[in-house]
Chains A and B, each alone.
Chain A
Amino acid sequence: GQQVMQIPQYQHVQEGEDFTTYCNSSTTLSNIQWYKQRPGGHPVFLIQLVKSGEVKKQKRLTFQFGEAKKNSSLHITATQTTDVGTYFCAALKTSYDKVIFGPGTSLSVIP
């Protein structure tokens, strides 16, 4: 079946350092979404990537979809304490396929 992996599982960074999480699929994807879940909160949609090689930016966050549409990354520049949480990628093989969430990367930011 379709597997979605995320690395790393945990990341501790000093405030101001950069952070990157990677999402990898065993199969080609239709699109990929990223969600953030703050501690004690619920997942909140961040972005969706559809095109091969697509890059989208949201302030300090940069999202990238691989050329082969099998992997994606989320990069945060100069982390802040407000970035703390778990970042999930959600992969879709086809438009009407069930969404598969990755296991998430838990980010801790040390002030």
Chain B
Amino acid sequence: DSGVTQTPKHLITATGQRVTLRCSPRSGDLSVYWYQQSLDQGLQFLIQYYNGEERAKGNILERFSAQQFPDLHSELNLSSLELGDSALYFCASSVAPDRKVIQYFGAGTRLSVL
């Protein structure tokens, strides 16, 4: 158990809908990262937050947004969903924003868009 909690584990929804994925980082970790992993694909970095502030942006679509709250949990909002958004979404956390620090991954949320 990495100590990173993601909910829900599975999500099934329809095209055009909006969903929210939630992540609670490990105790003491200030930085949260979001990744998308499509079937047989690698990990695509979406966005990173540190202590409530956006730190870095990757290949995140405009239909997607995220935030980190004062209690350090983070939410990833996906809107106007398309079939191609079906993927495994991972959240990871680390102590600091310095990327040399180890990232601990949650179990992921599997999103299916029908």
* Alpha-carbon gap, A44 to B105, bound state (A): 7
Main secondary structure of the interface of B (DSSP, over half): loop
A30 within 8 A of B: yes
B56 & A45 in contact (Cβ 8 Å cutoff): no
Interface core residue of B2, B33, B102, B106 (most chain A CB under 10 Å): B102
Within 8 A of B (CB), among A23-53: 30-31, 33, 35, 41-45, 48, 50
Residues of A within 8 A of B (CB): 30-31, 33, 35, 41-45, 48, 50, 88, 90, 92, 95-104
A-B contact count (CB 8 A): 60
Distance in angstroms from B42 CB to nearest chain A CB is 4
Which residues of chain A come closer than 8 Å to B108, judged between CB atoms? 42
Docked-complex contact B98 and A96, CB < 8 angstroms: yes
7 A–B contacts, CB within 8 A, in A order: A42-B2, A42-B106, A43-B90, A43-B92, A48-B100, A96-B98, A96-B99
